[in-house]
Structure 1
Amino acid sequence: MVDLHHDLRVRWDRSATAVNGDRTGEFVLTVAESEAAGIALEQVEPGVVKLPAAYVHPRFGSGMRSVLLKATLDLLRDDGYQVIPVSPYVTSWIQDHPGYADLVK
């Protein structure tokens, strides 16, 4: 779990279908213990994950999804991963933040 700010935390939930420690699952952003946003990941080959979905709970603003996506991409970069953005939100966010373009496979 990564603490971003006092009540903001990022948690990794590994999928039951994940094998050999791959990154199939979901990063979840919690705010004061409530789930605020999520980013789904599907590992397609060693070191490469698809990002097929990004969601935000309606009671939180879309800014939470951006916070989680940035944290997710930073963690994936630190772990040496590349990404295939499938979600329109993820694709658009990366286009708006060119510092993350190097992660796109």
Structure 2
Amino acid sequence: MKYSIAVAGGLVFAPLAWAISTQLGQVLPYVDCRAGRPWSVAATVLLALLAIVGALAPLAARGNAQSRTDGFIRTISLLAGSAFAFALAMQATATLMINPCQQ
């Protein structure tokens, strides 16, 4: 059984985007405060889009002959990717609402 990255995109790209966003969320507020530019908002929105693309990748990789295992992996990938994309959307919303210079 071979799975392409498109089949399990939500299981790969979305958690990776969330992990990168979490790490950047620790560093970028200091850069935002000094530079006066919303780099953390831009990074979070970009990573949320990556998570959405990863979550939707299994739908694009749908083939004619699909076994039950392939369908299960695609469904889990779609659901996990959607959950991580939602978490990133909430992080982006919080980043927009909170001033990075306040401590």
Higher relative contact order (CA 8 A, sep 6+): 2
Q: Identify, as 1 or 2, the structure richer in strand.
A: 1
Q: Identify, as 1 or 2, the structure richer in helix.
A: 2
Is TM-score (shorter-chain normalized) higher than 0.5? no
